[in-house]
Chain A
Amino acid sequence: MPTGTFDEMNGWPGSGTRPAYGEVRRWLDETSPAILQTRQAQAELLFRRTGITFSVYGDAEGAERLIPFDLVPRVLSSAEWSRLERGLVQRVQALNALLADLYGAQDIVRAGIVPQELVALNPQYQLAVAGHTPSKGVFVHIAGIDLVRTGPDDFYVLEDNARTPSGVSYMLENREMMLRLFPELVARSQVAPVETYPDLLLETLHSVAPERRNGDPCVVVLTPGPHNSAFYEHSFLADKMGVELVQGADLFVRDEVVYMRTTEGPRRVDVIYRRLDDAYLDPLAFRPESTLGVPGLLSAYLAGNVALANAVGTGIADDKAMYSYMPEIIRFYSGEDAMLSNVPTWRCREAEHLSYVLDHLPELVVKEVDGSGGYGMLVGPHASKAQISDFAAKLRAAPEKFIAQPTLDLSTCPTLDGDKVAPRHVDLRPFVLTGADGVKVAPGGLTRVALTPGSLVVNSSQGGGTKDTWVTG
């Protein structure tokens, strides 16, 4: 096994440029750092003008911030991509099968593969929809699967995001920016288009509309509002799909049917792409104090009169403790081995795992089972003694809330840092769409990059940046 860190462009230390990077390499060689810096500044200005921002929770300084964009693309060959794509399709099919089973007969629990307490005690398992099959049987319409790479053929799934994964607007905006700044480079590299994503998303949403006699299905995007960190993306996607962006107060339910208030009177709604967590959807069924949702929405959903994307209760499938069972889950439903590997995971809810984790905290990454966005995690190798002992106390108090994984040496990708191009760690979030007629994956996804040298935390909420992701050739 070669030593050092695998680089997306340069491979293992000492080896040559990888074939997929031929064009990008030539471009980097031919372009002076000063020009790259100018282009980078142009990109930033353009992004500010479009208003693509992201607010960070718990940040006292400012509500909104620009996610840094890095103009050196992350490139995958079409052969690499088609392997990933097959693995992603397999994985998302398994997630949907798992949810149908957990909210149905629970065969996988009876088979002893997934422990019953993991489901029954998990607040993400929504009791209110137990026994309900959503429209066309689809639970996870939009999935974001976080992948990391440690070698030429070594991709791992780091997390499954099956609730309301965000970031797809950056995938689209980053491509638009690259086409604007470097049209010849993109053309020469024969980059597979991602611009069709909004059409694919709309098709997917249409395909799960409950049957009704007349008219095209009415799709809306439901946002918690401008204070949400991903509000820009909600309005962006609604705009690209040509559908209404609504807040809870724009909708109402009468006789188990959802309507949107319009200037021409109430209009029936068939599909809601909701970017609102389960807990806020309906104050009569979930959190009573929620003013973001729609009273009676659950009744319309259970009556089969409206489709929600993603379905209610998908959080149980992206729970990080559930994640650790994914290889077995895939085998159980498909009879196949998982094409994409899991990162080895210690479940702190199990006593032996917990004691191993407590003994090895300085070398592990510890995450909350229902956490996201890089909040509330410990990166052992980068943590101080005090942080580690604080975290150990949290772990002992509620071990079932945590999982731990080895610190992986994530691949790096050339990234502009001031006047030089230097390697920075990256991950990849492809977006996987599931409709009534099957599974589709946009070629590429969102590459997130840790801008601090050596850092492994790529989350935008933790100061990470993004890159355009190319599938070439």
Chain B
Amino acid sequence: MRIRVQHATTYDYQSPAEGVVQVLRMTPSDHEGQRTALWRVDVDVNGVLRERRDAFGNASQIFFADQPVTSLTVRVTGEAQVRDTSGVVAGAREPFPLAVFLRTTPLTEPDPAVRAFAAESQGGDTLARLHDLMGRLNATMAFDTEATAVGTSGLEAFARRRGVCQDYAHIFIAAARCLGIPARYVSGHLARTESHAQDAAHAWAEAFVPDLGWVAFDAANGVCADESYLRVAVGLDYLDAAPMRGARRGGGAERLSVTVHAREAVVQRQD
């Protein structure tokens, strides 16, 4: 599938914010299953944008605003070709040994409830256990955009049995690591068929399966990633892979608005 992404993130500050710095992880990297065609990241205020590949191999950018700003919009437009690999991610940059992805982080720390949930996973092999885990998690949790916030940990969301894709991913990762399976967080885009804009990008998880390698599990939708999943950044949890992490001085209250259109690109006819 050729996926077209239009992703706009706007911060409005009550008063001019000084020293705005934003770390962006919004540009996908190619691997065997996906190839980026056109990709642009634009910031609508004056400043400097520097690029660096981060330690996980993600394409990251850092933006420094030149002067105080009352509003800042980051606009991403791009197209990428994605192939269905049954969720298997091959040929991505892998700078770290697998053991790194067994670490726990504050957002993916398990508690006895998460451990017990993980331990109930049935199946003859790793892949089967992960599918079982994903299925049960999808059935147990209710998708709810009000129940959790960006800083909510996996175990908090699990205790509420509600959350968004980020929470599903954190719980899945925490549980997989409890089973001794390396797991990581993925932020990206899911091409949708409905025409209205989404108010967030998507997130899911990858777990390492012997003989297959990294396999992408979207517990929020109860499926492995297919050709409608465009992978952008990975890390131990949301914080490593977040599309944007920013800081500022002053500015008062801030208002954040996000619109995402991720859809199958309409192929233009060559008449």
Asked whether A128 and B55 contact (CB < 8 A) given A120-B96, A256-B50, the answer is yes
Q: State the Cβ distance, A454 to closest chain B Cβ, in Å.
A: 40
Say which one of B71-79, B98-106, B198-206, B258-266 lies at the interface with A: B98-106
Among A409-464, those with CB < 8 Å from B are none
- Contact of B48 with A295 in the complex, beta carbons under 8 Å: no
Among A121-180, those with CB < 8 Å from B are 121, 123, 127-131
Say which one of B35-43, B153-161, B225-233, B239-247 lies at the interface with A: B239-247
B142 located at the interface, meaning its Cβ lies under 8 Å from any Cβ of chain A in the complex: no
- Contact of A295 with B19 in the complex, beta carbons under 8 Å: yes
Identity of the chain A residue whose Cβ is nearest the Cβ of B48 in the assembled complex: A255
Interface code A263-274, partner B: CB below 8 Å = 1, 0 otherwise? Answer: 000000000000
Identity of the chain B residue whose Cβ is nearest the Cβ of A290 in the assembled complex: B247
B255 located at the interface, meaning its Cβ lies under 8 Å from any Cβ of chain A in the complex: no
- Contact of B55 with A255 in the complex, beta carbons under 8 Å: no
- Contact of B99 with A130 in the complex, beta carbons under 8 Å: no
- Contact of A284 with B246 in the complex, beta carbons under 8 Å: yes
B56 located at the interface, meaning its Cβ lies under 8 Å from any Cβ of chain A in the complex: yes
Q: State the Cβ distance, A279 to closest chain B Cβ, in Å.
A: 10
Interface residues of B (CB under 8 A from A): 19, 21, 23, 48, 50, 52, 54-56, 62, 64, 95-97, 99-100, 102-103, 151, 236, 239, 245-247, 249
- Contact of A121 with B23 in the complex, beta carbons under 8 Å: no
Q: State the Cβ distance, A342 to closest chain B Cβ, in Å.
A: 25
Q: State the Cβ distance, A297 to closest chain B Cβ, in Å.
A: 10
Q: State the Cβ distance, B211 to closest chain A Cβ, in Å.
A: 21
Q: State the Cβ distance, A470 to closest chain B Cβ, in Å.
A: 46
Q: Roughly how many angstroms separate A285 CA and B54 CA in the complex, as a whole number?
A: 10
**B245 cross-chain contacts in A, Cβ below 8 A:** 283-284, 288
Identity of the chain A residue whose Cβ is nearest the Cβ of B100 in the assembled complex: A120
A82 located at the interface, meaning its Cβ lies under 8 Å from any Cβ of chain B in the complex: no
- Contact of B99 with A296 in the complex, beta carbons under 8 Å: no
Other A-B contacts than A116-B99, A285-B23, A296-B23, 7 sampled, CB-CB below 8 A, are A120-B96, A121-B102, A128-B54, A130-B55, A283-B245, A295-B21, A299-B62
Q: Roughly how many angstroms separate A256 CA and B64 CA in the complex, as a whole number?
A: 8
Total count of chain A residues near the partner, CB < 8 A: 25
**B50 cross-chain contacts in A, Cβ below 8 A:** 255-256, 299, 303
**A339 cross-chain contacts in B, Cβ below 8 A:** none
Contact of A117 among B48, B52, B99, B151 (CB under 8 A): B99
Q: Roughly how many angstroms separate A295 CA and B249 CA in the complex, as a whole number?
A: 10
**Residue of B56, B62, B64, B236 ringed by the most chain A CB atoms within 10 A:** B62
**B236 cross-chain contacts in A, Cβ below 8 A:** 127
21 pairs across A/B with beta carbons < 8 Å? A120-B100, A120-B102, A127-B55, A127-B56, A127-B236, A128-B55, A130-B95, A130-B96, A254-B19, A254-B64, A256-B64, A283-B245, A283-B247, A284-B62, A284-B247, A288-B151, A288-B239, A295-B19, A296-B21, A296-B62, A299-B50
Identity of the chain A residue whose Cβ is nearest the Cβ of B247 in the assembled complex: A295
A69 located at the interface, meaning its Cβ lies under 8 Å from any Cβ of chain B in the complex: no
A253 located at the interface, meaning its Cβ lies under 8 Å from any Cβ of chain B in the complex: yes
A302 located at the interface, meaning its Cβ lies under 8 Å from any Cβ of chain B in the complex: yes
Q: Roughly how many angstroms separate A194 CA and B52 CA in the complex, as a whole number?
A: 44
**B48 cross-chain contacts in A, Cβ below 8 A:** 254-255
Q: State the Cβ distance, A295 to closest chain B Cβ, in Å.
A: 3
A252 located at the interface, meaning its Cβ lies under 8 Å from any Cβ of chain B in the complex: yes
A-B CB proximity, top 3 nearest: A295-B247, A120-B99, A296-B21
- Contact of A284 with B21 in the complex, beta carbons under 8 Å: yes
- Contact of B19 with A252 in the complex, beta carbons under 8 Å: yes
Among A241-275, those with CB < 8 Å from B are 249, 252-256
**A123 cross-chain contacts in B, Cβ below 8 A:** 103
Q: State the Cβ distance, A246 to closest chain B Cβ, in Å.
A: 15
**A117 cross-chain contacts in B, Cβ below 8 A:** 99
Q: State the Cβ distance, A152 to closest chain B Cβ, in Å.
A: 44
Among A324-371, those with CB < 8 Å from B are none
Q: State the Cβ distance, A248 to closest chain B Cβ, in Å.
A: 11
Identity of the chain B residue whose Cβ is nearest the Cβ of A299 in the assembled complex: B62
**A249 cross-chain contacts in B, Cβ below 8 A:** 249
**B95 cross-chain contacts in A, Cβ below 8 A:** 130-131
**A288 cross-chain contacts in B, Cβ below 8 A:** 151, 239, 245
Identity of the chain B residue whose Cβ is nearest the Cβ of A127 in the assembled complex: B55
**A130 cross-chain contacts in B, Cβ below 8 A:** 55, 95-96
Q: State the Cβ distance, A298 to closest chain B Cβ, in Å.
A: 9
Q: Roughly how many angstroms separate A131 CA and B53 CA in the complex, as a whole number?
A: 11
Q: Roughly how many angstroms separate A268 CA and B50 CA in the complex, as a whole number?
A: 19
**A295 cross-chain contacts in B, Cβ below 8 A:** 19, 21, 246-247
Q: Roughly how many angstroms separate A131 CA and B50 CA in the complex, as a whole number?
A: 19
**B97 cross-chain contacts in A, Cβ below 8 A:** 116, 120
- Contact of B55 with A121 in the complex, beta carbons under 8 Å: no
**Residue of A253, A254, A296 ringed by the most chain B CB atoms within 10 A:** A296
**A284 cross-chain contacts in B, Cβ below 8 A:** 21, 23, 62, 245-247
Interface code A93-130, partner B: CB below 8 Å = 1, 0 otherwise? Answer: 00000000000000000000000110011010001111
**A285 cross-chain contacts in B, Cβ below 8 A:** 23
**A131 cross-chain contacts in B, Cβ below 8 A:** 55, 95
Q: State the Cβ distance, B238 to closest chain A Cβ, in Å.
A: 10
- Contact of A121 with B99 in the complex, beta carbons under 8 Å: yes
Identity of the chain A residue whose Cβ is nearest the Cβ of B106 in the assembled complex: A287
- Contact of A253 with B64 in the complex, beta carbons under 8 Å: yes
**B103 cross-chain contacts in A, Cβ below 8 A:** 120-121, 123
**A120 cross-chain contacts in B, Cβ below 8 A:** 96-97, 99-100, 102-103
**Residue of B56, B64, B246 ringed by the most chain A CB atoms within 10 A:** B64
Q: Roughly how many angstroms separate A255 CA and B100 CA in the complex, as a whole number?
A: 31
**A254 cross-chain contacts in B, Cβ below 8 A:** 19, 48, 64
Asked whether A302 and B52 contact (CB < 8 A) given A123-B103, A130-B96, A288-B239, the answer is yes
- Contact of A127 with B96 in the complex, beta carbons under 8 Å: yes
Q: State the Cβ distance, A3 to closest chain B Cβ, in Å.
A: 47
